[in-house]
Structure 1
Amino acid sequence: MKLQYKLYIGLTAILGILLIIGGLILAQEGQKREATERLMTLYRPAQASAEGLVTAFSQFNSGVTSGLNPSVDDPSKVMVQSIQLFNEHLGQLSSLTQLIPFKQSFSIEAIDQQFDEVSFLGLSVVNQYRELIQQQRVLEGQVESLIAQLGSVSGQRYPDTLLMQRDLLKLSLFIASPLHRSELYDANRLLQLENQLVRRIKAIQADSELSYLLDMTEMGYGLGEVRTLYARIINVFNTFYVKRNQYEQAQQRMQQLLEAANKVVNSNGAQALNQLQAITKNSTHIEYVLIPLGIIIAGLLAYQTASRIRKPLEQLLEATRFAQQGDFSYRIEIESSDEVARLAHHFNEMMDRLGSITVSRSYLQQVLDTVLHAVIVVDDDFKMKFINTTAATYFPNKAQVGASIFNCRTDEGAFLLNEPDRCLLREKGELLGLEKPIRLVSGQRLIVAMNVARLSLNESQHWVITLHDITAIKNAQRSLNLYAKIFETSNDAIVISNKHNVIEQVNPAFTQITGYSADDVVNQNPNILSSGKQDRDFYKKMWGELLMYGRWQGEIWNRRKSGEAYAEWLSIVAIHNEYGLIERFVGVFSDITQRKEAEQLIHRQANYDALTELPNRRLFWDRLAQALLQSDASQQGVALLYVDLDGFKPVNDTYGHEYGDLLLKHVADNLKALVKNTDTVARLGGDEFAILLPAFDRDKLEGLAGKIVHDLMQPIEIKGKQIYIGASVGISTYPDIAQSQEQLIHQADSAMYYVKAANKNNYAVYDEQMELLASQRMQLEQDLNSAVDNQQLEVIFQPMFDVKSNRIVCAEALLRWQHPEKGQIMPDVFIPIAEESGLIQHIGHWVLREVCRLAVLQMSEVGFVKVAVNISPKQFMQPDFVSGLAQILNETGFPAEYLELEITERLIFDELAATSVVMQKLADLGVSIAIDDFGIGYATLNDLKRFPVKELKFDRSFIKEIRRSHDDQTMIRALADMAHQMGMKVVAEGVEDLPSLDLLKAAGCDLVQGFVYHEAMSMTSLVRLLDQQNTQPNSNNKYPSA
């Protein structure tokens, strides 16, 4: 029996050893499998994160594309969401790369840096483009406003305004087109458009009837704003174009990095899956061997022990059932002293200890469940052994006893305890104050402080992890940091004082604005800044509002440390404690001195003339309206004087704008000196001034006007030169003459023009007769408009005689208007009307053609003599004047060498360069030039020698006084001698008697024209005289002789 038992025991031992060896092999394979399965659990989220990066990047690119389409709503929100999604996927992938042993590497840092660059460029490009589109729309609105203002002016009469409208529209379209196509601007084309616009502005400035447009505040600001806007748009857009190209390049680099990352993650995941499948197959084969072997051993052991331990085991089983139900009071009673008895004894002791432990553990569980911190205990393999209620709340369905701590993730998808944390933990034995973001099921995001400490139990190592919610602390910290940053970097000054109004703290902007450092003002009262410009009532009211309402804001003048006063916009807020009592005052202010100065400058530019510093037209009309309202209330009258300078333009043209400006300043000072401080002197534009006299003295009104005329006729010395001008003054009064503001302005203007038409240098008070004259003048203008078509104009000729031969050598063409109702109207009446209305060009063209036509038709039979035609300055300066004249000569067949054009010396010096070019073209054509009315302008013979001038005609004023003025005789003689030396002939016109003729002959005049020889006549009569002169050579004795 003993031998049988020994054999039985030996066989069982051999089989046990085989089973242990197989178990070890299976355990090793199991570890490999567990490690590979763990890697697979990491590869799958890594692949999802890599694919998520591609998706988020694609969404971001789509947002950028939409942002560059002005018809699509702003995609910034979608782009920011895609950036957040990308960062979440990148955070998850970054954590996983620390746990996965990739065989090929890719750089998370490179992807992060590249995406930062791409997202920054993308958002910048979209925001910049949206801002450009907005600026371009503002520009279009400004251009439309300017075009509307210009459109209110007649396009036929003022073509420059239509051309400016076209230029503005071209510029607007040119700026809009590349912006919407995202193309660079054509710099040359832009420069052409800008120069064209500048030329148009200059053309309008040069036009006396249009220059007021640029004096209008809205117009001037509008043009300036347009030019500023398009310059800003183009500069910023070209920068945007470069940024967009940088974005596209960065986009390509980002795409390459993402493709490489996806390739690495997918290839390594596939390799891990293949390895797992191989390990599973090996484990299955080993299990097929170990299972039968284990069954055999179990059978042998069961048979051997069944008979000895069956009853004690049944008692142990019963005790275990009680223990499982939490009842540790059950005890095993065995009388034997063998191994089973000792086992029962130890089991009873264990039940005693378990009862005590259960009570202690229950108490500890309750305590830990009541704390607000999350508590998790893990073993050395980081399996969770204990969690409290807060931890379960933080990680629902994840924090479970027996589960891995790696199931618990942060809000960014990373492990709660990542690989760097574990390395640091093993090195130092603890972790303190690690901040981790987590998200609750409700969606609330928390920041927790994680502490990990070592715990040794029964020679086994555990770790206690505590998580403390510090979200409120972090938010408060961020707020404090933000407020501190705002305090330090704000452009507005901030000053904090206590409840006694003693300064406790100031920011750098306070020092920058006031010049006082923090050391200068801390523990001081804010009245250290007082400028003294506010009285006690101001501060009393300020403190009253502050204490009553808890805040005050307003404009205040303070003084810098340097002593300079400055304006600031100040806001003060009272800070209350929990009991509602004031603890501190916070003052915030900005320096608005420049803004105040700019406002004053804008107000001055809008309401005052920059040259004379007098009120401009806008301010003057406003004061006039106020004066009329006060007049209605006080029953006192208002007087309005219009002052227009006579002879200002020749001074300006001859001596230059510098002299003209100084002259205008002198006139402004003179007018201000003549009136009271309560009166208003304004410059309306050009050389027009206005004087407003509220509550005027009627007995002194005309005396004031006469004084103005007298003073302005006196010589004015400017830079060593004596300047002579005059003034025409028109007067009207309210309410005795004018009944409204419009009437008052119109009547004063009419009276002024009445004076200018009647010899100038005088004043006149408006009466109804002036209105009648103005009406008649308007009617004459309307009639003159149709005079050419109705054949009411007639050309007659006054011959010029050679004083030596008494023969006709030239004839001056004179224009007459045969009005159907008023009879013959002389040129001195209708020519000024024609010049002002613009009809002079049409009439002048007709005169040239008619003179050439009549001469060819009738004079060719008796032989041509020169025909002189007066040319208006406006006609002379027309771009097509010379070509038009050449066409007339060609069409009529009149020889150019017999045509003489008479121009005034003033025309030459009004447009010196242009006149010189036109005169040379006329000389090349064969047409000769004569200077008419010589001696009353500013030209000298030395000035004229530069031009192809053949004749000089002395003004009638010299001829009229030659018999009584020895000085005039001497002047004519001297001028004639100098003209002859320069190859010019001298003509005297308006000679009416023989004594004057004799004096002119003696003075050296070559040709004479006037009633002393013959009055003006028709071409038929002139031809008859020429024929008589040819057929009767001695007939000249019928004409005067010396």
Structure 2
Amino acid sequence: MLDNLTGKDKQELTYIIERFNQALDREALLILIDSEDKIQYVSESFYRVTGLHKHQVLNSHYHLFEEGYVPSRSLTERKEMLIRNENGAIHPYSGTILSIFENSPPSKRYALFVLQKEPLNEKDDQVKKKEVLIDEFTLMPNHQALKKVISKKIVNGSSFTLIFFEIERFKSYLEDLGPFSSEDLLIEVGVRLKSLQTNDVSVYRYGIDEFCLVSDECVVPDTPRSLITKLTDLFNREVTIGKQVIKLSVNIGITQCVDPAISFENVLDQARSAMRCSKETVECNFTWYDSTACSLYEKKLLIEKRLRTALIENQFHLVYQPQIDLRQKRVVGVEALIRWQDRVLGVVPPSEFIPIAEETGLIIDIGEWVIEESCLQANKWKEEGLTLRMSVNISPVQFQHREFLDNVKATLSTTQMDPAFLNIEITENQLLYHLSKGHLILEKLKKQGVQISIDDFGTGYCTYSYLKKFPIDTLKIDQSFIQDLSIHANDEAIVTSIIDLARNLNINVIAEGVESREVMSFLDDSNCNEMQGYFYCKPLMADDVKQFLHDKKAETMLGIS
């Protein structure tokens, strides 16, 4: 927020906002907009009133949240706003507009809305109830009207089809076009959609970028003249607003209601869930509601939501799996593994939440936490007389992030971790997909003194020539080869070849997933440097690692006690 302000101006504006927050009552709203009418700050009361989240509000044009907004070229000193929450209720506010830094260049000018809640009198209440049934720009029935129509159909026992669709990037287009041109876009979308209206089909604007069709007939998507085909065709045509040509597209969810016991909310949730699922569908842009498929998608959304909470509430923890040197017959390092237990979801395995974290970008913050926590733990053990190499897995998304190297360097500095005992693990395909950039990142890591391992080696396409080029310290043989050693002769040949290859390049080798004495003996005879796996030890909590090593279970397990 306020990145274009200098330290002094930013401090002054922050002070003004803080003073207003302290002076005003709990229901008062503060809305700070920049010279482009985009929201740069709102008070916590705004989120309570609207039910929205920061990512839905900040950097959006303020008029998107104002019912009955009328474009204006200038702001007056007084402001009256009708703010609609996510459930459609209207909240009237009025107050003062303060101009801030009005003598500064346009890019540094701001306006602060200081708004108090106003009561609705009986006359105004009747007017607002009428207004709320019609969308101001498209002149289509809105979400309140949709609820009335569907609820009535359910009460009457009528069967119908609800088509819920979202126009992709529509919010961005509205914001980029500005208040006047965005109104033209809304009007054009309204005109196109109203062309679908018949005696059996009604059209509604549900939200900023969400619309609905209600059909009294069964909709068959694969019929050429079907409603879905017509809807898709409408948005295949480009829209010209001024000199700008816009290509719109839609994601469509469909559900049919034949159950008289269902509620409006249930019908809407089904159609919306199907719409969200359609975003994952490559073949077409529409999806029929299916409870199993949509439940999986909804679970994915829930995991994403809970991941964000987990970061805020520090719900993650690390466990550590010992790595044993087969020559020295002792533990020389551990691999840090993330675990997550959520209040709502319970224990969520990494195989479920890591891909979602990568897809959403949350893996950046999670990965930074893992590195920092691992370094802090390694230092704590060192202070207790236990020096161990700390291995940390790095996601491809995290590895390619522009701040990855700086974050590693900063973490080493703040935690006072000896970089020689930090081992960064990446997969071989991470290097091959981003060859030149990957090589540069590894070189800079090595200059920091960090060790580098190739994880899951043997599952990708890394060649001898690539291994010679990259500054690799360790190869970790994928557990899929290790676990079947006693069954498949081919796996024995592959593992032996990898060990010989690494030895020729003076690279350390760790075998993952060792679960039997026979496999351990084979690795020992083949001159494998290290191993880890459940045969020796499952991952341990930090407090259990020191006691486990103190009991000398490595020597006992390896048969030398």
- Return the TM-score normalized by structure 2: 0.52
* Paired position in structure 2 for 1:1036: 555
> Is residue 638 from structure 1 mapped to residue 220 from structure 2 by the alignment?
yes
Query: Is residue 868–residue 902 contact of structure 1 (8 Å, CA) maintained in 2?
Result: yes
> Residue by residue, what CA displacement relative to the aligned partner does 1:785-812 show, whole Å, maximum 9, x if unpaired?
3435544322221011123443212210
* Paired position in structure 2 for 1:940: 463
> Is residue 848 from structure 1 mapped to residue 361 from structure 2 by the alignment?
no
* Paired position in structure 2 for 1:793: 316
Cα distance in 2 between the residues matched to 1:741 and 1:147 = 36
Q: Which amino acid aligns with 2:492?
A: Q
Q: Which amino acid aligns with 1:784?
A: L
What secondary structure sits across from 1:991 in the alignment?
Answer: coil
* Paired position in structure 1 for 2:474: 951
* Paired position in structure 2 for 1:991: 514
Give 1 or 2: higher strand fraction. Answer: 2
Residues 956-967 of structure 1 correspond to what in structure 2 (within 5 A)?
956-967=479-490
* Paired position in structure 1 for 2:545: 1022
What secondary structure sits across from 1:931 in the alignment?
Answer: strand
Shift of 1:831: 2.6
* Paired position in structure 2 for 1:916: 439
* Paired position in structure 1 for 2:64: none
Cα distance in 1 between the residues matched to 2:479 and 2:36 = 50
> Is residue 896 from structure 1 mapped to residue 478 from structure 2 by the alignment?
no
Whose Rg is larger?
1
Shift of 1:998: 4.1
Query: Is residue 326–residue 529 contact of structure 2 (8 Å, CA) maintained in 1?
Result: yes
Cα distance in 2 between the residues matched to 1:1008 and 1:891 = 31
What secondary structure sits across from 1:992 in the alignment?
Answer: coil
> Is residue 980 from structure 1 mapped to residue 499 from structure 2 by the alignment?
no
Shift of 1:1021: 2.6
Cα distance in 1 between the residues matched to 2:57 and 2:463 = 36
- Partner residue of 2:533 out of 1010, 1013, 1021: 1010
Shift of 1:981: 2.1
Query: Is residue 431–residue 439 contact of structure 2 (8 Å, CA) maintained in 1?
Result: yes
Cα distance in 2 between the residues matched to 1:1005 and 1:796 = 25
- CA gap of 1:965–1:922, structure 2 versus 1, over 3 A, is same
Query: Is residue 859–residue 1023 contact of structure 1 (8 Å, CA) maintained in 2?
Result: no
Cα distance in 1 between the residues matched to 2:389 and 2:195 = 60
Cα distance in 2 between the residues matched to 1:922 and 1:768 = 48
Cα distance in 2 between the residues matched to 1:157 and 1:999 = 57
Cα distance in 1 between the residues matched to 2:517 and 2:281 = 36
Query: Is residue 862–residue 1026 contact of structure 1 (8 Å, CA) maintained in 2?
Result: no
Cα distance in 1 between the residues matched to 2:522 and 2:196 = 58
Residues 594-743 of structure 1 correspond to what in structure 2 (within 5 A)?
629=201, 635-639=217-221, 734=256
Query: Is residue 1012–residue 1040 contact of structure 1 (8 Å, CA) maintained in 2?
Result: no
- Partner residue of 1:927 out of 450, 453, 458: 450
Cα distance in 1 between the residues matched to 2:59 and 2:356 = 22
- CA gap of 1:748–1:866, structure 2 versus 1, over 3 A, is same
- CA gap of 1:786–1:216, structure 2 versus 1, over 3 A, is closer
- Partner residue of 1:825 out of 348, 353, 368: 348
Cα distance in 2 between the residues matched to 1:624 and 1:967 = 63
* Paired position in structure 1 for 2:387: 864
Shift of 1:847: 2.0
Shift of 1:887: 2.7
Cα distance in 1 between the residues matched to 2:224 and 2:499 = 54
Query: Is residue 39–residue 57 contact of structure 2 (8 Å, CA) maintained in 1?
Result: no
Shift of 1:990: 1.9
Q: Which amino acid aligns with 2:337?
A: L
- CA gap of 1:621–1:806, structure 2 versus 1, over 3 A, is farther
- CA gap of 1:156–1:149, structure 2 versus 1, over 3 A, is closer
Shift of 1:868: 0.2
Residue ranges of structure 1 left out of the alignment (5+ in a row):
1-143, 163-171, 175-211, 226-619, 640-674, 693-730, 757-763
Query: Is residue 806–residue 1039 contact of structure 1 (8 Å, CA) maintained in 2?
Result: yes
Shift of 1:972: 2.8
Cα distance in 2 between the residues matched to 1:753 and 1:743 = 16
What secondary structure sits across from 2:455 in the alignment?
Answer: strand
Shift of 1:932: 1.7
Cα distance in 2 between the residues matched to 1:1025 and 1:906 = 35
Cα distance in 2 between the residues matched to 1:906 and 1:623 = 51
Query: Is residue 274–residue 294 contact of structure 2 (8 Å, CA) maintained in 1?
Result: no
Cα distance in 1 between the residues matched to 2:469 and 2:365 = 30
Shift of 1:881: 2.7
- CA gap of 1:937–1:678, structure 2 versus 1, over 3 A, is farther
Query: Is residue 637–residue 733 contact of structure 1 (8 Å, CA) maintained in 2?
Result: no
Query: Is residue 38–residue 60 contact of structure 2 (8 Å, CA) maintained in 1?
Result: no
> Is residue 816 from structure 1 mapped to residue 335 from structure 2 by the alignment?
no
Query: Is residue 155–residue 161 contact of structure 1 (8 Å, CA) maintained in 2?
Result: no
Q: Which amino acid aligns with 2:558?
A: Y
> Is residue 880 from structure 1 mapped to residue 462 from structure 2 by the alignment?
no
Query: Is residue 213–residue 219 contact of structure 1 (8 Å, CA) maintained in 2?
Result: no
> Residue by residue, what CA displacement relative to the aligned partner does 1:825-871 show, whole Å, maximum 9, x if unpaired?
33223333433443322222222222222221223443412110112
Shift of 1:930: 1.0
Structure with the larger RCO, 1 or 2 (CA within 8 Å, 6+ apart) = 2
Residues 66-465 of structure 1 correspond to what in structure 2 (within 5 A)?
213=169
Query: Is residue 389–residue 421 contact of structure 2 (8 Å, CA) maintained in 1?
Result: yes
> Residue by residue, what CA displacement relative to the aligned partner does 1:299-355 show, whole Å, maximum 9, x if unpaired?
xxxxxxxxxxxxxxxxxxxxxxxxxxxxxxxxxxxxxxxxxxxxxxxxxxxxxxxxx
| Number of residue equivalences | 373
> Residue by residue, what CA displacement relative to the aligned partner does 1:77-101 show, whole Å, maximum 9, x if unpaired?
xxxxxxxxxxxxxxxxxxxxxxxxx
Q: Which amino acid aligns with 1:987?
A: I
- Return the TM-score normalized by structure 1: 0.30
* Paired position in structure 1 for 2:47: none
Residue ranges of structure 2 left out of the alignment (5+ in a row):
1-33, 42-51, 62-104, 108-167, 182-191, 203-212, 237-248
- CA gap of 1:634–1:766, structure 2 versus 1, over 3 A, is closer
Shift of 1:773: 5.1
Query: Is residue 889–residue 895 contact of structure 1 (8 Å, CA) maintained in 2?
Result: yes
Query: Is residue 251–residue 279 contact of structure 2 (8 Å, CA) maintained in 1?
Result: no
What secondary structure sits across from 1:855 in the alignment?
Answer: helix
Shift of 1:931: 1.6
Moved over 6 A (4+): 144-151, 157-162, 214-222, 620-626, 630-634, 675-684, 689-692, 736-745, 752-756
- CA gap of 1:859–1:1023, structure 2 versus 1, over 3 A, is farther
- CA gap of 1:825–1:154, structure 2 versus 1, over 3 A, is closer
Percentage of pairs with the same residue: 27
Cα distance in 2 between the residues matched to 1:908 and 1:161 = 38
What secondary structure sits across from 1:638 in the alignment?
Answer: coil
Q: Which amino acid aligns with 1:802?
A: D
